[in-house]
Amino acid sequence: MHANLTWDKSDIDRATVVDQIMMERRAKRGFLNTPIPTETVNEILNAARFAPSSSNTQPWRCYVLTGSARDRITSKAVEIFRAGPQKLAPEYPFFPQPLHDPFIGRFNQFRGQLGDAVGVPRSDKYGRLKDVERQFRFFEAPVGMIFTMDRKLEWASFICYGCFLQSLMLAAKARGLDTCAQQIWSLQHQLLREELGFPETDMVIAGMSLGWADNALPENNMVNQKLAIEDFVEFVS
């Protein structure tokens, strides 16, 4: 028996909804302090756990921070950052040094756009440090997440992890919530290991802010320039 290769109306409606959620998802950098019900967080994680992974290895592990635990960890992270940001190093490189074209052009365009939105030009080193502190407060979101992975896994597992994080962000957006995935939390791996009790064999991949975005903030209304399909796709037949 052959599969039905035509779409009916319900398929088209579902595709429209999924496409809209993907295109509406944006990294938000400021949140309302409205609490999120635990059952909603569980729903989001329950949906994200179906993300694809290489041979079903499922390399993800997630720590959900709320209430006093979130407040304690964010306060300590800010203190550590203020004491010496140059002392902090991530558990894996974020970018090659130096970052090359065309990626450096996109990077600089985005950083300039974000600096303008938050009122911090790149020449304002103190202002930039204060802005980074907001990341270590999860941008005031009521829920912060920390993601870890067994460090013996190879680079391919980062691809799996990206699928998981995107699935989580889309599940959140479908419920009217917003997110910001934050590699920067890898800088705080020592603090997080002490606070959360995971072993040295696990590495910090990223953090994530989760909540209802404060869309009165200019940085939450930025429009990022995305590549057109013809700029990154080639059809070969």
Tens digit of pLDDT for each residue in 87-105?
999 999 999 999 999 999 9
Q: Say how far residue 210 (Cα) sits from the centre of its chain.
A: 9
- Assign 213 a pLDDT band (cuts: 50, 70, 90): very high
* Tally of CA atoms within 13 A in the half-sphere of 52 that contains its CB: 3
The answer on pLDDT for 138 being more than 50 is: yes
∠ CA 105-106-108, nearest 5°, is 65
Our CA dihedral for 135, 141, 142, 146, rounded to 10 degrees, sits at -40
Q: pLDDT class for 4, splitting at 50, 70, 90?
A: low
The pLDDT of residue 130 is above 60: yes
Calculate helix-pair angle for 67-83, 125-135, nearest 10 degrees. Answer: 150
Mean pLDDT confidence for 142-163: 98
| Three-state DSSP state, 165 | helix
- pLDDT confidence tier of residue 7, bands split at 50, 70 and 90: low
H-assigned helices in the chain? 9-24, 38-48, 67-83, 103-118, 125-135, 156-174, 189-196, 229-232
CB 150 within 8 A of CB 59: yes
Q: What's the rounded Cα separation, in Å, for the pair 12 and 9? A: 5
Greater pLDDT, 10 or 159: 159
- Smallest CA-to-CA distance from 210 within 19, 21, 23, 37 is with 37
Q: How far apart are CA 234 and CA 229, in angstroms?
A: 9
Torsional sign, CA 120, 124, 127, 131: positive
pLDDT, averaged across the chain: 94
Band of pLDDT at residue 107, cut at 50, 70 and 90: very high
